[in-house]
Amino acid sequence: MPFSIKKEDCAEGPLTLPSPPERVGEKASVENRLAEACAMANTLGPSNPDFDQKAFLDELWDDL
C-alpha cells in the first residue's frame, strides 16, 4: 500500500514545504566580493607585460 496523506489528516490543511532555514551568516553580494578581490589585486601593482608564464613554470618544475 503506497504512503499517502489526505487533506483531512492534516490539522492545518494541505501539506506545504517548510520555509528554508535562516542563514547563519549573510554572505556579501557577488559585486562586493569581486570589488574586494580587485582591491587586493590592485595593491600588487600593475602586471608585467613581459612576464613569461611558461618560462616561470618551467623553472619552477625544474626544481622538483
Q: What is the pTM of this model?
A: 0.36
Q: Provide the pLDDT for residue 3.
A: 58
Q: Where are the alpha helices (DSSP H) in the chain?
A: 30-43, 53-62
Q: Provide the pLDDT for residue 4.
A: 60
Largest CA distance in the chain: 75
pLDDT digits (tens, 9 = 90+) for 26-57: 677 888 889 989 999 889 888 888 999 999 99
Q: Provide the pLDDT for residue 55.
A: 94
- Of 40 and 8, the structure prediction assigns the larger pLDDT to 40
Name the grid cell of 20.
Answer: 528554508
- Of 29 and 3, the structure prediction assigns the larger pLDDT to 29
The rounded mean pLDDT for the chain is: 76
Find the angle CA(10)-CA(15)-CA(17) to the nearest 5 degrees: 145
